[in-house]
Amino acid sequence: MRFGVIVCPQCKQVKSVDLSSKTTKCIRCGKTLQIKKLKIFYETESQEKLRNAIGLLNAELDKK
């Protein structure tokens, strides 16, 4: 399985997605997001790397 890290365009929630899905639902605002329309910040097959990438992206967004 291949995972991606996205940011919800509506509420800026950082979220992991399964890249084989077409849509994902934001856990914070409940908006249904079309994965192909989103910017994929990071892609990996490793759940461990995925968690690290989410942590890094959250830290980066907090600075702004």
Torsion of CA 9, 49, 59, 61, to 10 degrees: -20
Considering the complex, what minimum distance in angstroms separates the CB of residue 48 from Zn ion? 25
Considering the complex, what minimum distance in angstroms separates the CB of residue 46 from Zn ion? 25
Contact flags string 5-44 toward Zn ion, x per CB under 5 A? ---x-xx-x------------x-xx---------------
Residues that bind Zn ion (CB under 5 A): 8, 10-11, 13, 26, 28-29
